[in-house]
Amino acid sequence: MHIVLISTPIGFLGSGKGGGVELTLSSLVNGLLAKGHTLDVVAPKNSKLLEASKKVKLHFVEGKEQESWQHQDYYSLVTITSNSLLSGMIEKAITIGKKADIILNFSYDWLPIWMTLNIDIPIAHIISMGSESFAISNLISDVYSKYPYNFAFHSKTQASDYPFIENPIVVGNGFKLSNYIFQDSKDGPLGWVGRIAPEKGLEDAAYVANALGEKLNVWGIVQDESYALKIEKLCSPGILVWKGFLETDKLQKELGTCRALINTPKWNEAYGNVVVEALACGVPVVAYKRGGPGEIIQHGKTGFLAKPDDKRSLLEYLRIINKIDRKCCREWVEKNASSNIFASKVVNWLNKVIKDNQSKNFP
């Protein structure tokens, strides 16, 4: 297949602003290339893929970034500014897409989804969030009624945010596992990884670390300074250790030394890349039973699932986390979330989209 991928319009690949979508796209590129597909990636200027490959054509677009939907009001109007990065990326993708089999869109926004109804090239969408916008959810519903195959989700729980979708296509996610080294370090610190923003619930992990009197290493981009300061004040001095945003290679080296990852999203997390990245390094995860992590973690085997927002329950599970066999964590990822497995699911899905589109355009 010849596939044109549209990246997120929130930030360049490698900036961290695009959250999990950045690594998801990079990992999928890796998996698709290994299967021999031809790829063009349309992305903001300065973007870097995890492994620079000569086999991928990166097309840079300049323009004004979109504001992320999870930080806007649910009923906000859709905004496209002049010099919009998003519309620039779509324009470029359509030009290149004329010679391709399909366009695969990663941006959670209104315009690319609307384009599904208005061009002949099939556009498939990997929806990266739960329902975060009234306008986008309504549009997905409209487009879905004509093109039921064009949307895929990372987890069943995420898809349940779109109740009009019957039998959702769930592709999970996957990562290049040779980039993650297994570490058998049961005595390390506690870890937390994610964008430092309210929907990620860092305060609950801080509560647990404080109660245990243990250090909590925090990796990720600070998206909300005042929120970060508030959390700092909740903790005794020395508990929170801000590690900043690291590239995957450095992140996995440090993350692998942790005795546990605490994962505390307050929203319907679509997947939870960081959960799988931790498991890939052998680090068990204690998380709320909510969103993707609720489907990924095997309670009692690769970590523990606490009742959503029950911080005390998180704390109790951390007291027994060393009972988890770290090898089971790595094994689960190898069997379920490699970039090869992810790419296979995506290819099967895209084939269905292409077939359905052909039958509609050339009945």
Is 287 an interacting residue with respect to ligand UDP (CB under 6 A)? no
Closest CA to 219 of 277, 294, 302, 282: 277
Cβ nearer to ligand UDP, comparing 148 with 189: 189
271 binds ligand UDP (CB under 6 A): yes
277 binds ligand UDP (CB under 6 A): yes
Buried b (16+ CB within 10 A) or exposed e, 82-118: eebbbbbbbebbbebbeebbbbbbbbbbbbbbbbbee
Binding ligand UDP by CB under 6 A: which of 246, 328, 347, 354?
A: 246
> For residues 20-39, which are near ligand UDP according to CB under 6 A?
20, 23
Residue 296 touching ligand UDP (CB under 6 A): no
Query: Which CB atom, from 20 or from 201, has the smaller least distance to ligand UDP?
Result: 20
- Tell which positions 172-191 bind ligand UDP, by CB under 6 A: none
Can you tell me which of 96, 103, 124, 193 binds ligand UDP, judged by CB under 6 A?
193
Nearer to ligand UDP by C-beta: 306 or 353? 306
Least distance to ligand UDP from the beta carbon of 194, Å?
Answer: 5
Give the nearer residue to ligand UDP in terms of CB position, either 96 or 190: 190
CB of 27 to ligand UDP, least distance (A): 9
Other CB atoms within a 10 A radius of the CB of residue 14 amount to 19
Alpha-carbon span 3 to 9, nearest angstrom = 19
- 42-45: which pairs have CB atoms within 8 A and are 24 or more residues apart? 42/4, 42/5, 42/6, 42/7, 42/89, 42/92, 42/93, 42/96, 43/7, 43/12, 43/13, 43/89, 44/7, 44/9, 44/11, 44/12, 44/13, 44/85, 44/89, 45/12
Q: Say whether residue 109 binds ligand UDP (CB under 6 A).
A: no
What residue ranges bind ligand UDP (CB under 6 A)? 16, 19-20, 23, 193-195, 219-220, 245-246, 248, 251, 271-274, 277
